[in-house]
Amino acid sequence: MAASRLNREVSVVAEDIAARLRIAEAVVREAGALALDYFHRRHELKIDAKGLQDLVSQADRESEELIFARMSEAFPGDSFLGEEGGLRQKGPMMWVVDPIDGTANFVRGIPHWCVSIGLVSDHRAVLGAIYDPVADELFAAVAGGGATLNGEPIRVTGQTDIVHARIGLGFSYRSDAGRHSRDVRTILEAGCEYLRLGSGALGLAYTAAGRLDGYYERHINLWDVAGGLVVVAEAGGRSSDFLTPAAVSEGNELLVATPGLFDPLRRLLPAA
């Protein structure tokens, strides 16, 4: 292919993805405002249990329906995967949405939760928009375009030393509680500190923004991380190979970290 034609095609793809990001940013803010309104009157919400320590409310369902309505209007040929509504398969580009990540915090009035939108194409995370409406923080990235927080560039820390590191850890009853306890012990005994803040999507966003040096969870679903994976990558972080074909329906384990901490953490927290 002639170089000029290739360049033109690359720039058409870049324009398309930039346009998608603008829409995703507007929609994630709109869904965040809707969820924030429910957060302020959460005592009116009826909370249902989907499983052990796994909750859902009208706020989650409405946030997801709003995002689905906006995305299917703007991109009628795209597929859509939402935590609450499942997969609506159409074209090869798939919007992946967690309408409220950190629901356990949300229903208790703990101001650490977010709305996450990711775009997956050909088993690659190509766009992410994560909005924390309480803090009014929007973390965003497209593949090849850098990562931002409220429009300003962000970068992972340069941390290379485990004894100065502080990572986010996640846990749900989809994984083995004993294994998680051993993981906590292993990293503490190595001199690495951890936080368990209750939102995987914000764990990735905080790693990208240099607030944490990494994030680890033995099992996490695609909707929790589809937005964050590209934000971490574009902020210079390293991730385990999350997006296998099975990860769409089954989730996967996930380690993200600064480049200098990835291998030492991988040795402490082996995948299998």
Nearer to ligand IPD, 82 or 237 (CB): 82
**Residue 170 interaction partner, one of Ca ion, ligand IPD, none, beta carbon < 5-8 Å per kind:** ligand IPD
Nearer to ligand IPD, 64 or 78 (CB): 64
Paired sense of beta strands 166-170 and 214-220, if any: parallel
Is 131 an interacting residue with respect to ligand IPD (CB under 6 A)?
no
Q: E strands within 176-233?
A: 193-195, 214-220
**Residue 209 interaction partner, one of ligand IPD, Ca ion, none, beta carbon < 5-8 Å per kind:** none
Is 224 an interacting residue with respect to Ca ion (CB under 5 A)?
yes
**Under rule CB under 6 A, which residues in 195-234 are in contact with ligand IPD?**
198-200, 217, 220, 224
Residue 3 three-state SS: helix
Rounded least distance, CB 224 to Ca ion, Å: 4
Tokens 């290739």 locate to 6
Tokens 């870049």 locate to 14
CB burial string 189-210: b at 16+ within 10 A, e below:
eeebebeebbbbbbbbbbbbbb
Q: E strands within the chain?
A: 47-51, 54-57, 79-82, 86-88, 93-101, 114-121, 124-132, 137-142, 147-149, 152-153, 166-170, 193-195, 214-220, 238-239, 252-257
**Residue 118 interaction partner, one of Ca ion, ligand IPD, none, beta carbon < 5-8 Å per kind:** none
Rounded least distance, CB 199 to ligand IPD, Å: 5
Rounded least distance, CB 221 to ligand IPD, Å: 6
Nearer to Ca ion, 25 or 217 (CB): 217
Is 98 an interacting residue with respect to ligand IPD (CB under 6 A)?
yes
Which residue ranges make up the site for ligand IPD (CB under 6 A)? 54, 98, 101-104, 170-172, 198-200, 217, 220, 224
Which residue ranges make up the site for Ca ion (CB under 5 A)? 83, 98, 100-101, 224
